[in-house]
Amino acid sequence: MPRIDRYILSQFLTLFGFFALVLVSVYWINRAVSLFEQLISDGQTALVVLEFTALTLPLVISVVLPIAAFAASAYGTNRLSSESELVAMQAAGMSPWRLARPVLVFGLLVAVMVAMLVHSLVPLARARLADRQAEIAQNVTAQFLRAGSFQYPVRGVTLYIREIADDGRLMDFFLEDGRDPNDQITYTATEALVVRTEAGPRLVLMQGMVQALRRTGERQSLSVTRFSELAYDLATLISTESSRKRDLRTYSTLELMRADAALLEATGATSDKARAEAHERLAKPFQAPIAAMLGFATLLIGGYSRFGVWRQVIWAVVALIAVQFLATAAESQVARDAGRWPLIYVSPLVGALISLFLLWLAAKPRRLRDKGRTAPVTEAAA
Q: Residues 97-111: pLDDT tens digits?
A: 888 899 999 999 999
- pLDDT higher at 234 or 272: 272
Domain coverage including residue 193: 155-238
Q: Last residue of a domain, which of 185, 210, 238?
A: 238
pLDDT exceeds cutoff 50 at 372: no
Question: For residues 137 and 236, what is the distance between their CA atoms, to the nearest angstrom?
Answer: 11
Mean pLDDT value of segment 76-92? 81
Residue 145 lies in a domain: no
pLDDT exceeds cutoff 70 at 30: yes
The reply to whether 21 and 96 lie within a common domain is yes
pTM comes to 0.69
The reply to whether 133 and 160 lie within a common domain is no
Residue 233's closest CA among 261, 199, 267, 208?
Answer: 199
Question: For residues 42 and 37, what is the distance between their CA atoms, to the nearest angstrom?
Answer: 9
Q: Last residue of a domain, which of 187, 217, 238?
A: 238
The reply to whether 232 and 256 lie within a common domain is no
Residue 43 lies in a domain: yes
The reply to whether 257 and 368 lie within a common domain is yes
The reply to whether 224 and 255 lie within a common domain is no
The reply to whether 197 and 283 lie within a common domain is no
Q: What residue type is assigned to position 48 of the chain?
A: V
Q: Residues 191-202: pLDDT tens digits?
A: 988 877 766 677
Q: Residues 121-161: pLDDT tens digits?
A: 999 988 888 888 777 665 555 556 677 888 877 788 888 88
Per-residue pLDDT, 141: 52
Question: For residues 115 and 281, what is the distance between their CA atoms, to the nearest angstrom?
Answer: 8
The reply to whether 87 and 166 lie within a common domain is no
Question: For residues 288 and 69, what is the distance between their CA atoms, to the nearest angstrom?
Answer: 6
Burial code (b: 16+ CB inside 10 Å, e: under 16) for 242-255 equals: eeeeeebbbbebeb
Residue 143 lies in a domain: no
DSSP secondary structure string for all residues of 147-190? TTSEE-SSTTEEEEEEEE-TTS-EEEEEEEE-SSTTEEEEEEEE
Cβ–Cβ < 8 Å for 74, 299: yes
Residue 130 lies in a domain: yes
Question: For residues 83 and 311, what is the distance between their CA atoms, to the nearest angstrom?
Answer: 18
The reply to whether 328 and 204 lie within a common domain is no
The reply to whether 324 and 369 lie within a common domain is yes
The reply to whether 27 and 74 lie within a common domain is yes
Question: What mean pLDDT, rounded, does the chain reach?
Answer: 81
Residue 233 lies in a domain: yes
Cβ–Cβ < 8 Å for 153, 143: yes
Residue 367 main-chain phi, psi, to 5 deg:
-65, -35
Residue 160 lies in a domain: yes
Percent of the chain with pLDDT over 70: 83
The reply to whether 40 and 62 lie within a common domain is yes
pLDDT exceeds cutoff 90 at 114: yes
Q: Residues 278-295: pLDDT tens digits?
A: 888 999 999 999 999 998
The strand pair at 170-177 and 219-233 is best described as unpaired
Residue 182 lies in a domain: yes
Per-residue pLDDT, 104: 93
The strand pair at 183-197 and 200-216 is best described as antiparallel
- Can you list the alpha helix ranges (DSSP code H) found in the chain? 3-41, 46-55, 57-82, 85-91, 96-116, 122-137, 140-143, 235-238, 253-257, 261-267, 271-283, 287-300, 310-336, 346-381
Residue 149 lies in a domain: no
The reply to whether 292 and 374 lie within a common domain is yes
Q: Last residue of a domain, which of 186, 211, 238?
A: 238
Q: How many domains does the chain have?
A: 2
